[in-house]
């Protein structure tokens, strides 16, 4: 289907519209590609490579004097860079992007499903639990990589428990964090700090003794969204490696069709 000599010839004669000068005098903060799906391997804490699928946004700045960027080079950089993605490997990808695209600064945002093997609290039955994690890297040679995690948990309402003769409404809640680090922090650590802050963690497999345990554990640990956002903040404050963070909690209230929400941003 393709003929490389013909292709080279063709390429040489085809005009490069993107490279043409632009007179509107407007530099653009970020230009690139989004929703790029790519199979990757992430190194997890148990030192195994976890195969997953990245959803990438790759961008660079564009100076005012160029009409456009060369979008295909983002994909070439991603393909050539290989499939292993980590806090340590992202600076090289950023650097390659700035070189290939003649840019000052590059951004890589990637999110991916991330699995942890999780044991039921009483029977120890194992299953795979999914979280959405990610990295947000910006820079050139020197670069900053922030961590992202989105973790489902159970929350039980302290007010409902206090005022009711029996029972208490509870629900699935979602905790989303973006964390700036100044040392190594595992995604697993973020997930564990979040799960500890909730009324109870979620589990993939629960037999009846486990279900009894999680029901009673949640009842013993009621949490408003306000409590949950503060409990996560306390744990992040205790870790020197975490230099700044954003925490969002959204509870899919089981008594309403709308959600309860709390948001906290802090730089240490």
Footprint of a copy of itself on 169-228 (CB under 8 A):
169-172, 200, 202-212, 214-216, 218-219, 224-227
Of 42 and 184, nearer to a copy of itself (C-beta) is: 42
Q: Which stretch binds a copy of itself (CB under 8 A): 98-106, 135-143, 163-171, 180-188?
A: 163-171
Q: Is 166 in the site for a copy of itself (CB under 8 A)?
A: yes
Nearest approach in angstroms of CB 91 to a copy of itself is 22
Q: Are strands 242-251 and 143-156 parallel, antiparallel or unpaired?
A: unpaired
Q: How far apart are CA 147 and CA 201, in angstroms?
A: 21
Q: Is 63 in the site for a copy of itself (CB under 8 A)?
A: no
Q: Is 260 in the site for a copy of itself (CB under 8 A)?
A: yes
Q: Which stretch binds a copy of itself (CB under 8 A): 52-60, 92-100, 135-143, 188-196?
A: 52-60
Q: How far apart are CA 208 and CA 201, in angstroms?
A: 16
Q: Cβ(213)–Cβ(219) under 8 Å?
A: no
Nearest approach in angstroms of CB 5 to a copy of itself is 11
Which phi and psi angles does 190 have, rounded to 5°? Answer: -60, -45
Number of residues lying near a copy of itself (CB under 8 A): 115
Nearest approach in angstroms of CB 67 to a copy of itself is 7
DSSP code at position 239 = -
Binding residues for a copy of itself restricted to 127-156, rule: CB under 8 A: 127-130, 152, 154, 156
Instruction: List residues bridging with 244 in a β-sheet.
Output: 180, 267
Q: Is 259 in the site for a copy of itself (CB under 8 A)?
A: yes
Of 142 and 162, nearer to a copy of itself (C-beta) is: 162
Q: How far apart are CA 25 and CA 146, in angstroms?
A: 32
Q: How far apart are CA 184 and CA 139, in angstroms?
A: 18
Q: Cβ(171)–Cβ(251) under 8 Å?
A: yes
One character per residue 68-97, x = contact with a copy of itself (rule: CB under 8 A): xx-xx--xx--x------------------
Q: Is 238 in the site for a copy of itself (CB under 8 A)?
A: no
With residue 6 as reference, give the H or E element that holds it: helix 4-13
Three-class SS state of 124? coil
Among 18, 48, 99, 182, binds a copy of itself (CB under 8 A): 18
Three-class SS state of 122? coil
Of 141 and 197, nearer to a copy of itself (C-beta) is: 197
Instruction: State whether the Cα torsion 194-195-199-202 is positive or negative.
Output: positive
């Amino acid at each position: 289907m393709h003929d490389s000599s013909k292709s080279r010839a063709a390429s040489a004669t085809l005009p490069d519209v993107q490279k043409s000068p632009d007179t509107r005098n407007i530099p653009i903060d970020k230009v690139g590609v989004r929703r790029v799906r790519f199979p990757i391997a992430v190194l997890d804490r148990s030192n195994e490579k976890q195969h997953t699928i990245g959803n990438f946004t790759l961008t660079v700045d564009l100076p005012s004097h160029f009409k456009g960027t060369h979008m295909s080079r983002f994909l070439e950089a991603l393909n050539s860079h290989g499939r292993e993605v980590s806090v340590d490997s992202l600076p090289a990808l950023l650097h390659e992007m700035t070189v290939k695209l003649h840019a000052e600064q590059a951004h890589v945002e990637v999110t991916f499903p991330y699995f942890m093997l999780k044991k039921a609290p009483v029977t120890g039955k194992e299953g795979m639990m999914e979280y959405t994690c990610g990295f947000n890297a910006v820079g050139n040679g020197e670069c900053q990589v922030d961590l992202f995690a989105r973790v489902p948990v159970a929350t039980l309402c302290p007010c409902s428990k206090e005022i009711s003769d029996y029972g208490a409404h509870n629900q699935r809640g979602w905790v989303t964090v973006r964390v700036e680090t100044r040392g190594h922090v595992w995604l697993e650590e973020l997930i564990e700090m979040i799960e500890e802050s909730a009324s109870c963690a979620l589990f993939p497999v629960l037999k009846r003794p486990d279900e009894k345990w999680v029901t009673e554990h949640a009842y013993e640990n009621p949490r408003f969204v306000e409590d949950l956002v503060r409990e996560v903040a306390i744990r992040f404050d205790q870790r020197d490696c975490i230099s700044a963070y954003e925490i969002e909690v959204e509870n899919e209230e089981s008594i309403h069709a709308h959600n309860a929400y709390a948001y906290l941003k802090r730089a240490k």
